[in-house]
């Protein structure tokens, strides 16, 4: 056990548990973690819960369908319809932007107020791992629904279930154009000359499972792409429901070979079986475990830590909760000094947790993340936002943090920085920072110095 192999005090271990693996302490959490840090971390692994009153992907797809239908009607009318078309377009864009703001801000607010912030950090990790960007009217609305509807429900289960749920979600299908990918020899392909799109298949292999250096070739990309042809969306004009729809008449017929393994023609199950096999492939275990260790522990995680996590992956057939527990229980995850520089998202969430913020404005949250360079669902690439310190530690990025922190502190003039320091960092603070905070000219300056201190900026 950890306590037998380290010389750290329980205070040190509690601080590492709360700040390295979670989003920082709220009132009383350091004391709770101090009793048994590993047990506390394991108890943190619960399924995230959202505000279900907000729009779902079904709502967003339905709104988009009605928009396209109304636009078609207007186009059939005379030139006087141009004004109405513009108004309709503006209304639809406003709906999508409003949904993005509400949904993405809700995730941040839940993370700030949660008593299980480790799970919310894990959710953010996989949301970035399966990155989608809010580009265009439809994706602006859909992007934030992926983490709520496919990632969160499968966050602590088998990776294969998470993988399939993500790849079949409307946001991923639309983002990587698979809803329009049909086999050349399928009924639809032969009739309408529809073609194959390899975008989703390529990202599944390169970013979601095996990794860019994984054991696959271009032919494997093509074979996987053919296996998931027909993975599309419900046509609301002709069909009931919403979301994922397998279109057998658009599926490329025939046997497929992926990573030297043959997969018989059996429709939807052909692609799903490929994903299941990819999920338990040793290369996937290696790639995802490294990313998890890199995100939670260090940019240069120890080989022994990676070995324990990969072993847990293989033993449990990719159970995410078991992999996380293996990380918690490995000594090399509890390095004495802070290893990670906080990303903007991490910094904003941990700051509000330290301040025990009660009322949070959606626009203020969204604007803060945008100002600091990590606007929700705006990575612009399926690779997601960087998890490297060098990409967040530039002079302009630091100035943006100082500006934001100064404004935040100005709104909290009655906050006692010394109490916040004790709540968030406990005894893990050096003499220089402690004295700087206590000797500050004002409470606003004291709070700014605390939030910008090395102890708070790193975890």
Q: Which run of H or E residues covers position 96?
A: helix 81-113
Where do the domains of the chain lie?
A: 158-334, 344-457
pLDDT given for residue 1 in this prediction: 44
DSSP structure class, residue 56 = P
CB-CB neighbours of 187 under 10 Å = 16
Q: Which run of H or E residues covers position 232?
A: strand 231-233
The pair phi, psi for residue 123, each rounded to 5°, is -60, -45
Q: Determine contact, residues 334/6, Cβ cutoff 8 Å.
A: yes
385: closest CA among 154, 130, 171, 159?
130
Question: Tokens representing 298?
Answer: 């260090």
Mean pLDDT, to the nearest integer, of 236-246?
A: 87
User: Which residue did the predictor score with more confidence, 314 or 427?
Assistant: 314
Question: For the residues of 319-387, what is the DSSP string, one character each?
Answer: BHHHHHHHHHT-GGG--SS---BPPHHHHHHHHHHHTT-----HHHHHHHHHHTT--TT---STT-S--
Mean pLDDT, to the nearest integer, of 428-448?
A: 94
pTM: 0.95
Q: Determine contact, residues 455/430, Cβ cutoff 8 Å.
A: yes
pLDDT-derived band of residue 281, with 50, 70 and 90 as boundaries? very high
Tell me the per-residue pLDDT of 331-372, one tens digit each, with 9 for 90 and over. Answer: 999 999 999 999 999 999 999 999 998 889 999 999 999 999
Q: Where are the alpha helices (DSSP H) in 24-80?
A: 29-35, 37-43, 57-75
The residue behind tokens 């503006």 is 90
CB contact set of 174 (below 8 Å; sequence gap of 6+): 138, 139, 142, 233
Tell me the per-residue pLDDT of 395-412, one tens digit each, with 9 for 90 and over. Answer: 999 999 999 999 999 998
pLDDT given for residue 80 in this prediction: 52
d(CA 42, CA 34): 14
d(CA 99, CA 51): 13
118: closest CA among 274, 362, 296?
296
pLDDT-derived band of residue 6, with 50, 70 and 90 as boundaries? very low
Mean pLDDT, to the nearest integer, of 374-403?
A: 96
Angle of CA points 404, 408, 410, to nearest 5°: 120
| 258 DSSP β-pair partners | 261
265: closest CA among 220, 230, 235?
230
Question: For the residues of 280-328, what is the DSSP string, one character each?
Answer: T-HHHHHHHHHHHHHHHT-SS--HHHHHHHHHHHHHTTSBHHHHHHHHH
pLDDT given for residue 7 in this prediction: 39
CB contact set of 245 (below 8 Å; sequence gap of 6+): 232, 233, 234, 235, 239
Query: For the packed helices 344-354 and 362-371, what is the interaxial angle rounded to 10 degrees?
Result: 140
User: In this model, does residue 78 exceed pLDDT 80?
Assistant: no
d(CA 14, CA 298): 18
Q: Determine contact, residues 362/105, Cβ cutoff 8 Å.
A: yes
55: closest CA among 159, 134, 123, 145?
145
DSSP structure class, residue 178 = G
User: In this model, does residue 91 exceed pLDDT 90?
Assistant: yes
């Amino acid at each position: 056990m950890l306590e037998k192999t380290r010389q750290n005090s329980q205070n040190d271990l509690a601080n590492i548990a709360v700040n390295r693996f979670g989003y920082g302490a709220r009132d009383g959490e350091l004391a709770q973690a101090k009793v048994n840090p590993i047990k506390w971390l394991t108890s943190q692994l619960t399924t995230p819960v959202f505000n279900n009153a907000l729009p779902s992907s079904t709502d967003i797809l339905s709104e988009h369908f009605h928009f396209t239908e109304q636009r078609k009607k207007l186009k059939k009318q005379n030139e006087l319809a141009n004004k109405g078309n513009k108004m309709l377009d503006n209304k639809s864009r406003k709906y999508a932007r409003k949904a993005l703001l509400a949904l993405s801000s809700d995730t941040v607010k839940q993370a700030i107020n949660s008593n299980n912030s480790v799970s919310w950090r894990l959710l953010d990790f996989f949301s970035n791992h399966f990155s989608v960007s809010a580009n265009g009217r439809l994706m602006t609305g859909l992007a934030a629904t992926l983490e709520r509807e496919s990632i969160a429900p499968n966050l602590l289960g088998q990776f294969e279930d998470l993988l399939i749920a993500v790849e079949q979600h409307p946001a991923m299908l639309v983002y990587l154009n698979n809803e329009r990918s049909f086999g050349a020899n399928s009924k639809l392909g032969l009739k309408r000359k529809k073609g194959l799109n390899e975008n989703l298949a390529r990202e599944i292999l390169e970013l979601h499972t095996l990794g860019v250096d994984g054991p696959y070739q271009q032919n494997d990309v093509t074979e996987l792409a053919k296996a998931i042809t027909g993975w599309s969306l419900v046509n609301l004009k002709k069909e009931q429901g919403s979301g994922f729809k397998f279109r057998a008449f658009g599926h490329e017929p025939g046997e497929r070979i992926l990573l030297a393994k043959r997969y018989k023609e059996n429709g939807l199950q052909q692609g799903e079986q490929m994903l299941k096999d990819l999920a338990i492939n040793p290369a996937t275990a290696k790639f995802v475990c490294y990313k998890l260790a890199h995100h939670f522990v260090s940019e240069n995680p120890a080989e022994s830590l990676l070995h324990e996590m990969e072993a847990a992956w293989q033993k449990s057939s990719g159970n995410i909760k078991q992999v996380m527990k293996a990380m918690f229980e490995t000594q090399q995850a509890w390095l004495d000094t802070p290893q990670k520089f906080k990303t903007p998202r991490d910094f904003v969430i941990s700051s509000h947790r330290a301040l025990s913020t009660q009322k949070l404005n959606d626009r203020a949250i969204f604007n803060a993340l945008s100002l600091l360079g990590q606007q929700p669902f705006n990575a612009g690439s399926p690779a997601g936002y960087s998890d490297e310190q060098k990409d967040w530690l530039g002079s302009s990025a630091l100035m943006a943090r100082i500006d934001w922190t100064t404004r935040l502190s100005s709104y909290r003039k009655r906050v006692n920085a010394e109490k916040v320091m004790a709540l968030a960092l406990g005894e893990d603070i050096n003499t220089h920072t402690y004295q700087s905070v206590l000797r500050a000219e004002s409470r606003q300056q004291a709070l700014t110095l605390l939030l910008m201190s090395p102890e708070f900026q790193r975890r």
